[in-house]
Amino acid sequence: MYILLLTLCVKYFSVMSTAFQRYVCSLFLLHLFFLLPEAAGAQRSITICEWNVENLFDVRHDSLKNDYEFLPEGSHSWTRSRYWRKQTKVGQTIAALGGEEGLPAIVGMCEVENDSVMYDLTRRSAMRGARYEYVMTESADRRGVDVALLYQPFLFKLLDWHSVRIPSVENGFNPTRDILYVKGCLPSSDTLHVMVCHLPSKAGGGQTSKRHRHLAAATLRSAVDSLLTLQPLAKLIVMGDFNAGSNEKVFDILMPPLRETLPTDRRSLKQRVGTYYYKKQWSYLDHMLVSDGLVEWQGKLKGVEDVGRSSSAQPVVSASESRLPSLLGKDGSPFRTYRGPYYNGGVSDHLPLVMKLQLTQ
């Protein structure tokens, strides 16, 4: 019976023309995926993503935030039609990130303004049928920028979450984004810990912004240490926009105990590889760092060579431009929403990262 249902669903899935036409079938396939009786040790995979979505603001003023740029009368002329066009593109991209395996189980998001935009994305946009849930921070950032975690409840059962405040003001800096900590249970009954961060930008340059990033990294490291002290083999992914490359001091603060999953040598960054493009140079400002516990867990699974980038069995993380050409502009760089104050019509100035995790039943 399972095989018949699966065959019919796959046949129906193959003739769907858009990501949103496929979501119902994707959900059914994923449910069936974890219900099918299999031999002991059978493996499945789920998709984990990270994406800076470039200023996903609503069109209403928050009296406590400096969001004037992104209002209909603001310098960016951020209208309802532009807002909903962006929401549609964000939803379409997220739906496509999982590829043939269906919708991503978890998506860490940076540069989302508030609960309103996340509610619209999950409850009012074309992606509403995917039934994503979310948690997010409520930071003191003056522009109102926050981070969030989208998750599929039947692939990631939420157990706990909270925000971690970076002591920016206490140390003479403007307030910045909180760190989001989330804990959940996977279909394999393994507990997965996720931290989503958006470290202070390099805007303005100089030592001040660098010291602020180092403070944020130290706060993140403290949160990681608190978890790993209690659970040395915790399966942890730290993801987000670090506003820094792997060769910068931020990562000296974080590694070890975390491991990088992206190229650390600038010379290894080939053309059109990265998440951000600036001054004709690709780089990784977005990262996914993993704990030893997660690497060891993945390494114990059969077929580790399929999920490892090297002998250390680090999970594969790659920019998704090859599968999602709509994310790129005519010049081959990310198809951003704005170029300065000028509307460009794209979805984001960053490319998403994708990680596949292997699960056992």
- The full set of domains in the chain, from first to last, is 1-37 (no CATH), 46-360 (3.60.10.10)
Q: In this predicted structure, what is the pLDDT of residue 284?
A: 85
- HSE-CB for 25 with a 13 A CA cutoff: 20
**CB burial string 315-339: b at 16+ within 10 A, e below:** bebbbbbeebeebbeeeebbbbbbe
CA distances from 196 to 22, 65, 108, 217, 225 (A): 28, 22, 6, 12, 16
The residues near 21 (Cβ < 8 Å, ≥ 6 apart) are: none
Lowest-confidence pick of 142-156, 252-266, 268-282, 283-297: 268-282
pLDDT in tens, 299-321: 764 333 322 332 222 233 343 44
352 has pLDDT over 60: yes
pLDDT in tens, 221-254: 999 999 999 999 999 999 999 999 888 889 999 9
pLDDT in tens, 57-105: 999 999 889 999 999 999 999 999 999 999 999 999 999 888 777 899 9
Cut 0.85: pTM above it? no
Lowest-confidence pick of 35-39, 122-126, 186-190, 302-306: 302-306
Segment 335-354 mean pLDDT: 92
